[in-house]
Amino acid sequence: MRSTWRDRDRDFQKKLPGGETTQHLLLETLHKTQTENNPIPGFDPNKDDTQYYRIQQTIDCDEVYPGIYIGDTATAKNKKYLQMLGITHLLNCAEGKRFGFVNTDANYYKDTTIKYVGLPLADLCSTDISKYFYTAADFIDEAVSADGKAFVHCVLGRSRSATCVLAYLMIKKGMLAVDAVKTVHSRRFIRPNDGFLHQLAQLDNQLRRQHL
């Protein structure tokens, strides 16, 4: 048994090619990546109609990877829009009734065919979001693998939801954290808090070591 633990410690201490991924590296990647100005999913950008344009002003949603959308509270509560978009799975990364959370649950979507999962995460550097990385990745993957569509949100669609999507890309798509950040941030302005960036960096180092 002692030998096993010693082996694990040795694996953990293996040097990574190019060095350790750090919170600072991911923050630097965010700053260097330009967010594109993409049309809102589900709308025709060439349609010239005032009412049509006004409806779009209530939507905050971006397709950040094929079949994966990140959005805000108002969009997550707009069941008509979600159904129009063809959303099959919805991940609320801020489930709760307090300020800074989104008060929805599976019952809110019971009149739809949307499958719901809620995570009670606060947008704080001290929050351990890493314990939900694989739960979130499995749920998103369930949607994408079945040719469905996953809508992932928190309050603003910037920190908690973005972090869960980044973890999915790393765990299920084999992306390095830097590449995942570039992919998502190029399609939507995101800003995971420093604690979340640190946990994503740790996940990246763990995944990289598994492939040594």
* 119, 127 contact by CB (below 8 A): no
Structure tokens at 197: 């960036």
Q: Does 154 participate in catalysis according to the annotation?
A: yes
Pairwise CA distance, residues 96 & 76, whole Å = 14
* 159, 123 contact by CB (below 8 A): yes
Marked catalytic residue, from 61, 93, 154, 164: 154
* 70, 184 contact by CB (below 8 A): yes
Pairwise CA distance, residues 174 & 184, whole Å = 15
Q: Which of 69, 67, 127 is nearest to 96 (CA)?
A: 127
Separation of first and last alpha carbons in the chain: 23
What Rg value do the Cα atoms of the chain yield, rounded?
18
Q: Which residues are catalytic?
A: 154
